[in-house]
Amino acid sequence: MPDVKHFDPELTLDQVVALFWQRGADTTGIADVVQATGLSRSSLYATFGGKAQLQAAALGRYLERQSRPVFDALAADERGVPAIAAFFERLVAARCSGEHARWGCLVTNTHATASGGLPEIRNILDRHHDTLRAAMRAALEAARAAGQLRPGLDLEGAAEALTLQAYAVNLRSRAGAEAAVLLAGVRAVLDGFTTPEEKR
């Protein structure tokens, strides 16, 4: 007879996301996952595969549930620079207060670990980066159309810089940086992109 799962894999994956997000996947062993989920090693391996496959599944889940809705909203927001500023304000608030305060970002955290070099994980990291950068590019295009950007600004370079700024917010917030300091850094970057009229 086929093996019948007596647990919800979707709920289990949500538990793993939270565990890896808060504690870090590289420093969390399978024994920790077993304890957190209440499942046996054999059930975990049979459902998700090894540790790398489980981490990749958790990252994919995080991208689709946590990141992509925010990126899609930014890409669709036609306000330009105010949309980018609002994105960072929400990001800083989420990273410095609330349920997941000081956890950083699961994807950003993974960039700084050895497991980030595994092909199945690197693919998700790259997909996350490309999606965020595309959303930043769309917001910058709206800003240019509204006359908010200084002439000659390289939109590709600016989108990459803003994407890297989001990573910096994620990492520094996890290390305890204050919200006001993080927001000041974001404003300085945006000031370098905008026209004098927009800064006023």
pLDDT digits (tens, 9 = 90+) for 29-69: 999 999 999 999 999 999 999 999 999 999 999 999 999 99
Given a contact cutoff of 8 angstroms between Cβ atoms, the answer to whether 85 and 190 are in contact is yes
pLDDT of amino acid 55: 95
pLDDT confidence of residue 21: 97
Summarize the confidence of residues 67-81 as an average pLDDT.
Answer: 98
pLDDT confidence band for 7 (50 / 70 / 90)? confident
- pLDDT at 198 (0 to 100): 59
Query: Can you list the pairs that 117-124 forms with residues at least 24 positions away whose Cβ atoms lie under 8 Å?
Result: 118/52, 118/56, 120/52, 120/53, 120/56, 121/52, 121/55, 121/56, 121/59, 124/56, 124/59, 124/60, 124/63
Q: Are 19 and 57 in contact (CB under 8 A)?
A: no
| Confidence label for 3 from pLDDT (cuts 50, 70 and 90) | very low
Per-residue confidence band for 196, with pLDDT thresholds at 50, 70 and 90:
confident
Lowest mean pLDDT among 4-8, 84-88, 164-168, 178-182: 4-8
- Whether the CB-CB separation of 140 and 159 falls below 8 Å is answered with yes
CA distance 197 to 200: 5
Q: Which residues of 150-167 are buried (b: 16+ CB within 10 A; e: fewer)?
A: eeebebeebbbebbebbb
pTM, whole model, 2 decimals?
Answer: 0.91
In the predicted model, what is the mean pLDDT of residues 7-14? 92
102-106 contacts, C-beta under 8 A, 24 or more apart: 102/173, 102/174, 102/176, 103/21, 103/22, 103/174, 104/21, 104/170, 104/171, 104/173, 104/174, 105/67, 105/167, 105/170, 106/17, 106/20, 106/21, 106/58, 106/59, 106/62, 106/66
| CB-based contact 62:106 (threshold 8 Å) | yes
8 A C-beta contact, residue 19 and residue 33 = yes
Q: If you average pLDDT over residues 116-137, what whole number do you get?
A: 94
